[in-house]
Amino acid sequence: MARELWKGNIAIAEAAVRAGLEAYFGYPITPQTELLEYLSMRMPELGRVFVQAESELGAINMVYGAACTGVRVMTSSSSPGISLMMEGLSYIAGTEVPVVLVDVMRGGPGLGNIAPAQGDYNQIVHGGGHGDYRPIVLAPSNIQEAIDLTMLAFDLAEAYRAIAVVLLDGSLGQMMEPAEMPPLRPLKSTYPDWAVRGAIGRERRVLSSIYLDPPLEEEANLRILRRWQQVEANEVRYKGYYLEDARFVVVGFGTAGRVALSAVRAARAEGIRVGLLRPITVSPFPSRVLRELADQVEGFLVVEMNTGQMLEDVLRAVEGRAPVEFFARLGGVMPLPEEVLDEIKRMASTPLSVDGHPRERWLQRMLQPA
Amino acid sequence: MQTEIVIAGFGGQGVLFAGQLLAYAAMDNGLEVTWIPSYGPEMRGGTANCTVIISDEEIGSPIVRNPQVALVLNRPSLDKYEPLVKVGGLLVVNASLVDRSVGRRDIQVVMVPANEIAEQLGDRRVANMVMLGAMLANHPVLSVEAVVKAMEAHMLSRHRNLLPLNVAALQEGAKFLAGQLQSA
């Protein structure tokens, strides 16, 4: 298969089609709109379902309904639109039906702006809808990964009856890179035994997120938790760069991770032994590898495009075994490799402090530039 | 080996297309490439720019503070990018729309009257191709031939009649060579 030049949003849309997407429901919002626009052309061409809903609330509840029939279904949006979908996502999680969600993050909170940011990490990974559930969250950092992880999201959502989120920022949505698109998979012809597709000739099935009897809800919570334990045991993914002899390890996901890669290479060129760990699944989080690295390295540098949301997960994984530092740009400002390089150089040339919180130390440095 | 190229001008001057063409040529030559536009509200009528990064390994940051190459198609873009080009880098200036000379002496500078050349060729819209030709003639990242091939391979069939004009524009631009840097 030859490489073609794909724009992130469109690459994800086509990858979903190739994965067997049968129904898409969405509402336009920058910097994600090309995804919906492309599917508005592509889905009808294939005789599949495309609906531009009246709102994000409408879209996510259409997704909920379609998911109950056992077909592959997806929606996509950007940060403020994702917020509007949270109630529906909780119902989807509570009903244990598989759904793929794409969040092309922009600057916030609130209306914010349309520039790239990573401020939705907590909303997607740790929160969002009410109740006890965890989505699988895949964080691509280039267009090939966006394609591959979109395909994977459908498989994982189905395997674990879970919500699988492809989490990226606006720069990846708008970027073009060469990538290989996998062949079109045939649509499903068999459906899981929970799907509701007409009950003629069989016992009726009920899909719902309502369990009025608390012990039954407890049972449902435990069922969801056990599936999550399987996800944690089987689905952690990350990519390491130059880790073998690394004194320091930079940790970043998505675009922040690839910006850090440039900084790591520049630092290596100056003789600083530094590596990069780029989580590909931010949920389940690659805690074990971080804990292992913590016993080998002199320190970590977490780089994000938010105020340190993944940082808390890194701290939890490292358990104080090594110093952790933090660097971020916020609100739609992208970090530059030079800025991350300066942090790496500072870590390599000065004793690392473990006083206070890394976020606090970062703020101090930001307010009092050297 | 990595080369970063910024192309900047007014919306409508074809800066995004020129960058995409470079990206296609890089891909067809087996290289890694990242094309990223500025996609803010300024797309509508104001300035537009894109960054193209070409490399022989996995590309890190999609944006750079100091590009090796800048193609500036108007005065605001010259003012913005002249100070940012890496020392020893290349600055290609659309002399048709710029009313000042370039101050820096530590970079290669090519002044190209791209609009006039495009108009002589019969279509002012190919000024972007004139600029791209000038860049290719002065930087080894890709050849003019590679970009012509990419255009032949990826141009939509309904635009195919525009191919000779675009090739001519690239070739006219490629006649402009920068002087050697004096001290570097």
How far apart (Å, rounded) are the C-alpha atoms in residues A143 and A173? 9
Helix (H, G, I), strand (E, B) or coil at B178: coil
**Domain region containing A304:** 239-367
Side-chain half-sphere of A281: how many Cα atoms within 13 Å?
Answer: 21
Check CB contact of A5 with chain B, cutoff 8 Å: yes
> Strand ranges (DSSP E) for A45-122?
49-52, 73-77, 99-105
Q: What is the pLDDT of residue B38?
A: 85
Pick A176's closest partner by Cβ from B23, B32, B64.
Answer: B23
User: Is residue B42 scored above 90 in pLDDT?
Assistant: no
Q: What is the mean pLDDT of residues A358-362?
A: 96
Same domain, A265 and A353: yes
Same domain, A110 and A175: yes
Check CB contact of A146 with chain B, cutoff 8 Å: no
Do residues B170 and B21 make contact, with C-beta atoms less than 8 angstroms apart? no
Which residues of B fall below an 8 Å CB-CB distance to A?
A: 20, 23-24, 27, 32-37, 39-41, 58-65, 154
Residue with tokens 């509840």: A61
Pick B37's closest partner by Cβ from A30, A174, A263.
Answer: A174
B171 burial type by CB count under 10 A (0-12 exposed, 13-18 middle, 19+ buried): middle
Same domain, A202 and A53: yes
Helix (H, G, I), strand (E, B) or coil at A231: helix
How far apart (Å, rounded) are the C-alpha atoms in residues A344 and A303? 11
Q: What is the pLDDT of residue A310?
A: 98
Q: What is the pLDDT of residue B184?
A: 44
Give the pLDDT confidence of A227-277 residue by residue, as tens digits: 999 999 999 999 999 999 999 999 999 999 999 999 999 999 999 999 999
Give the pLDDT confidence of A104-161 residue by residue, as tens digits: 999 999 999 999 999 999 999 998 899 999 999 999 999 999 999 999 999 999 999 9
Measured from the Cβ of residue B96, the count of other Cβ atoms closer than 10 Å reads 19
Give the pLDDT confidence of B122-177 residue by residue, as tens digits: 999 999 999 999 999 999 999 999 999 999 999 888 888 999 999 999 999 999 99
Structure tokens at A173: 């949505």
CATH at residue A362: 3.40.50.920
Check CB contact of A35 with chain B, cutoff 8 Å: no
Residues of chain B with C-beta less than 8 angstroms from the C-beta of A255? 62
Asked, as a colleague might, if the bond just before A31 is cis with ω within 30 of 0, I would say yes
Give the pLDDT confidence of B106-126 residue by residue, as tens digits: 999 999 999 999 999 999 999
Check CB contact of A252 with chain B, cutoff 8 Å: no
User: Which DSSP string do the residues of A174-193 spell out, in sequence order?
Assistant: H-EEEEPPPPPPPPP-S--T
Q: Which residue has the higher pLDDT, B55 or B156?
A: B55
Same domain, A228 and A263: no
Inter-chain touch B61–A170, beta carbons under 8 Å: no
Of A170, A182, A35, residue with least CA distance to A104: A170
Check CB contact of A316 with chain B, cutoff 8 Å: no
Task: Give A77's DSSP letter.
Answer: E
Same domain, A64 and A185: yes
ipTM: 0.94
Same domain, A155 and A33: yes
Residue with tokens 């997407």: A21
Gap from A188 CA to chain B (nearest CA, Å): 34
Inter-chain touch A259–B20, beta carbons under 8 Å: no
A154 burial type by CB count under 10 A (0-12 exposed, 13-18 middle, 19+ buried): buried
Domain boundary among the residues A234, A259, A276 is at: A234
Same domain, A228 and A284: no
Which of A5, A264, A274 to substitute to test the interface with B, most B CBs within 10 Å?
A: A5
Domain boundary among the residues A234, A265, A296 is at: A234
Q: How many CB pairs under 8 A join A and B?
A: 72
Check CB contact of A259 with chain B, cutoff 8 Å: yes
Inter-chain touch B27–A176, beta carbons under 8 Å: no
Domain boundary among the residues A186, A206, A234 is at: A234
Inter-chain touch B27–A3, beta carbons under 8 Å: yes
How far apart (Å, rounded) are the C-alpha atoms in residues A9 and A15? 10
Give the pLDDT confidence of B13-37 residue by residue, as tens digits: 999 999 999 999 999 999 999 999 9
Inter-chain touch A176–B59, beta carbons under 8 Å: no
Give the pLDDT confidence of A20-69 residue by residue, as tens digits: 999 999 999 999 999 999 999 999 999 999 999 999 999 999 999 999 99
Inter-chain touch B24–A334, beta carbons under 8 Å: no
Residue with tokens 């189905």: A158
Same domain, A66 and A124: yes
How far apart (Å, rounded) are the C-alpha atoms in residues A186 and A315? 43
> pTM score, two decimals?
0.96
Inter-chain touch A115–B20, beta carbons under 8 Å: no
Helix (H, G, I), strand (E, B) or coil at A248: strand
b/e sequence A3-30, b meaning 16+ C-beta within 10 Å: eebbbbbbbbbbbbbbbbbbbbbbbbbb
Q: What is the CA radius of gyration of chain B?
A: 15
Give the pLDDT confidence of A267-311 residue by residue, as tens digits: 999 999 999 999 999 999 999 999 999 999 999 999 999 999 999
User: Is residue B40 scored above 80 in pLDDT?
Assistant: no
Do residues A333 and A115 make contact, with C-beta atoms less than 8 angstroms apart? yes
Same domain, A114 and A224: yes
Residues of chain B with C-beta less than 8 angstroms from the C-beta of A105? none
Same domain, A192 and A283: no
Average pLDDT over chain B, rounded to an integer: 93
Q: Could you give all domains of chain B from N- to C-terminal order, each with its CATH number?
A: 2-173 (3.40.920.10)
Structure tokens at A300: 């970590």
Check CB contact of A280 with chain B, cutoff 8 Å: no
CATH at residue A111: 3.40.50.970
User: How many structural domains are present in chain A?
Assistant: 2
Residues of chain A with C-beta less than 8 angstroms from the C-beta of B33? 5, 177-178
How far apart (Å, rounded) are the C-alpha atoms in residues A212 and B150? 63
Of A99, A90, A94, residue with least CA distance to A21: A99
Percent of chain B predicted with pLDDT > 70: 93
Same domain, A267 and A311: yes
Same domain, A212 and A255: no
